[in-house]
Chain A
Amino acid sequence: MKKFWTKIEWRITITYAIFGALWIFYSDNLVARLFSDDLIELEVQHYKGWFFVLISALLIFFILRNALNKQHLAQKKGEEVQEKFKWMIDASMDAVLLTNPDGSIQFANPAACQMFGWTEEEIIQGGRDLIVDTEDPRLAEMLEERAKFGASRSQLTYKRKNGEKFEGEVTSALFTESDGVTHTSLIIRDISEHNRALAEVEASRKRLSQIFASITDAFIVLDRDFRIVYANAEAARINQKEPEAFIGKNHWEEWPETKGTQVEKYYRQAMETQKTVHLENHYVVPGKIDLWLDIHAYPFEDGLAIYYRDITDKKHLDELYRQTSEMMNRVFDRMSDAFILLDNEWKIVNINPKALDRNHLVKEEVLGKSHWEVWPMTVGNEVEFNYRKAIAENTPVHFDYHYFAEGEYDEWHEIHAYPGTEGLAIYYHDITDRKRSEEALRNSEEKFVTLFNNSSVPMALASYPVRELLEVNKAWIEFLGYSSEEIYGKTLTELGINRSESQENNISNQIRQNRSLNNFEAQIITKSGKTKTVIASANIVPIAGLDHLLISMQDISSRKAMEEQLRALNETLENRVQERTRELKSRNEELETFTYSVSHDLKAPLRGIDGYSRLLQETHKKQLDEEGLLFLTNIRLATEQMNRLIEDLLQYSRLERRVLTSGTIDLSQLLSSLLKEKEVEINQQRIEVETDLKCGTITTDNDGLVFALRNLLDNAIKFTAEVKSPRIIIRSQEENGKCILSVEDNGIGFEMKYSEKIFEIFQRLHRVEDYPGTGIGLAIVRKVMSRIGGRTWAKSEPGKGSIFYLEIPL
């Protein structure tokens, strides 16, 4: 409810009341001030009253007139509007209903009556349930929506009088009338027909789409602006896109590469002339698409329907066919095989250059002639037989033919003949070389078989990797005792020839790793049970495309036995050597003991003899005559000689036993110390000593060399004793990696026939009384030299002197 003063009538009333009050109050004051005369004042008061009434009456008149006019106009307009709405509602194709809040119907227009089949009265009486399918779940939704927003639009299921249900679109709104009651308006349109029509259109569109989609040609539809309206699956496939992706795109933007090509020219031509065009286009997008398209464009008023087909394969095939036939022709001409084409009458239809050359023919002369006429020698033999057979049985034939005429030709031809509906295609080539090599191979194979069989080495051929024996030679049979029937398909292990598992593993490992077995020493057992040692070798050899194993073995049992004997012998020998060594060692020890004894026990009696001889000489001199004394002197001389012999012998044996010690020796130093030792004798005999040493230092056994050199010097001094102006020259010089040391004297010398004998032990060339000595010195020299790996020899001439040489390895 509005506040009352907001209403215009109240405002006017209140404004009037205020104005009236102010008028009364101020107008009297004003009059009183203007007119001081009470009488006049009274008069004016009187007129003033009348004036106020007049103004008020005028005001009321205008207000009333205005208000009455407005109401009249409004009423008139309302009637007009209502009339129009009524007409509209009555004339509406849609059903219009007005309902009350309780759901009962207040009004239904004629369209509603027609739609539902009831009269307005029946509808008003029947209410909502009469016409709405209350089971429709959308009803509740609609009511809810309307309550919420004041209006709604939805589809509901309605019922007709005849029970038929139909789909209606309903627009409903709530409105409140001037009486404050809320009503509902419903405008219902029967859309079942519309839906059916829509469904039909949709179905037909789908059918068309399916047809377009399923046609194997690509199909696109362009509008007059070349915009793509439709593209089917094949078009999408060719362009590697989804069909929807094309829709709405401009053809020239979608396929810019077609712009400016014959494609554009043809399409525009089709569009303008409204005539179908047909073209083949090579459509290339580098790196992506490379297609040949066969395009048909059908113009219609609104655009262009374009069918195109991928003919790439066909194009390729065409190209291939073209190339192939060109190639075929080339091949045919250049074929190394001779080629002849016969028709069903045996006439030559085609013949290639090779065939012509081979037979010294000219193409033009033989074309059209019968085969049998050109090659009469083939009549009645296997050539004719085979050709006829090929045609009769319609199967290709293949045979080798010996093309032979004494003194003219001798060739082998391999002939292939292929029958066809139009005749016989023959080609052949010369296999003379192959035939000959095959023959040679056959001969050589025979040779190898003979070799294999007659080889003295046991050999076997086995499969690989199973190693089942397939073939063995005579030697193998003789060696192992199994016949070739017994062994076939069996392995060596199965036969019991190889009984050692570790050996078997070893063999298979080696073959697997090296694809061969090389000189493998194996123990095998023959059929008679004898164990043999063999050296086995095996190689994987391909025979007829399959790996085989060629095994050979060599019986080394006897060799093994010999080896064993040798080993035993060696052992015995070793034992014997050891035994001998032991013996020798004990002999050596004995010898040592012996020489030891010699040194002691032989010398002791000598000392006795000498001692007592001396005592006799000294203390019993008076009892002895001159001869007796001489005897004693001789006894003592003999004793001395004996002593020297013993000493020399000891030295000799010591040399034999002593251990060599190698050291660096300065020859000149060594020599000067030796000369120093002999200084007395040298001076006594006035010996001239010269040295000429070129070797410098040498590496050898010091003591041995000293010994040898001292002996030579002793000899030189000794044998120059009787010479006038004695002279000794000592030289050394290098020769072939050896140092040759020589001691030369101008002494008595000796005959060269004794040059070797003098180096033997106890050999003397002079009497003791002339030149004392034991005959051991030079033997010692030789011994020393041989022990240090050197040599010694002498040159001499009686009366002129001698040269003794020492050769010392450096």
Chain B
Amino acid sequence: MNTNPTRPILLIEDNPMDVDLTIRAFEHNHVVNPVTVLRDGEEALTYIRDYSPQAPMPMLVLLDLKLPRVDGLELLAELRKATIFKTIPVVVLTSSSEDKDVQTAYQLGANSYIVKPVNFENFIEVAREIELYWVLLNFPPL
């Protein structure tokens, strides 16, 4: 079991309602790790650039694909180029179920691809599954 509840979860999502609902879903499931929200691709790139090695390493990146300015797939590519974030687990969490998106995401190094359900119960279930697997069960790189 994961023993470091201080490592943050990065949520890269532009839609405020989606951010709110995601956070609520996590709360609903009693996730203790802090959620750092980055509202678009550029903000995420800044975060990567400015990241200091002393800060705790994010445990997981939840990435939406449809983002203003720099979109999710571009961001993913940049993320995998940065030395520190190269190995961090990235779960694509998006409304798109397009084959092309799925394919590209995995090619760029996504670890998982999950379609956001519209139904809120289902959404909570998804959040629970993510937390269970990626936060509690999975051992992220140090």
Binding site for B on A (CB under 8 A): 596-597, 599-601, 603-608, 610-615, 639-640, 643, 650, 654
Contacts and interface: CB of A to CB of B under 8 A. Distances in A.
Contacts of B120: 607, 610-611, 613-615
B92 to A, nearest CB: 13
Given A604-B17, A611-B17, A611-B123, A599 B118 contact: no
B118 A607 contact: yes
A660 to B, nearest CB: 14
Contact of B118 (A596, A597, A610, A654): A610
A604 B97 contact: no
Question: Interface SS of chain A: helix, strand, loop or mixed?
Answer: helix
B18 interface: yes
B81 interface: no
Contact of A600 (B96, B117, B119, B123): B96
B118 A601 contact: no
B116 interface: yes
Contact of A604 (B15, B99, B119, B121): B15
A526 to B, nearest CB: 66
Contacts of A605: 17
Contacts of B116: 603, 607
A614 B28 CA distance: 13
Q: Would you call the interface of chain B mostly helix, strand, loop, or mixed?
A: loop
B7 interface: no
Contacts of B119: 610, 639-640, 643
Interface residues of B, number: 20
B95 A604 contact: yes
Contact of B95 (A599, A611, A613): A599
Contacts of A597: 66
B123 A607 contact: yes
B24 interface: yes
Q: Which of B97, B116, B120 has the most CB of A within 10 A?
A: B120
A611 B94 CA distance: 16
Contacts of B117: 607
26 contacts: A596-B98, A597-B66, A599-B97, A600-B66, A600-B94, A603-B95, A604-B17, A604-B18, A606-B118, A607-B18, A607-B95, A607-B116, A607-B118, A607-B120, A607-B123, A608-B15, A608-B21, A610-B120, A611-B120, A611-B123, A614-B120, A615-B120, A639-B118, A639-B119, A640-B119, A654-B98
A277 B18 CA distance: 157
Contacts of B121: 614
A640 B118 contact: yes
A647 to B, nearest CB: 8
A608 B24 CA distance: 12
Contacts of A599: 95-98
Contacts of A643: 118-119
Contacts of A606: 118
A640 B123 CA distance: 13
A600 B71 CA distance: 13
B128 to A, nearest CB: 15
Contacts of A603: 95, 116, 118
Nearest to B24: A615
Contacts of B65: 600
Most buried by B among A607, A640, A650: A607
A643 B117 CA distance: 9
A601 B66 CA distance: 9
A254 to B, nearest CB: 122
A153 to B, nearest CB: 141
Given A608-B21, A611-B21, A615-B120, A650 B97 contact: yes
Contacts of B95: 599-600, 603-604, 607
Contacts of A650: 97
Nearest to B96: A599
Contacts of B99: 654
Contacts of A612: 17, 21
Given A603-B118, A607-B117, A614-B120, 20 more contacts: A596-B66, A596-B98, A599-B95, A599-B96, A600-B66, A600-B94, A600-B95, A601-B66, A603-B95, A604-B15, A604-B18, A604-B95, A607-B116, A607-B120, A608-B15, A610-B118, A611-B24, A612-B21, A643-B118, A654-B98
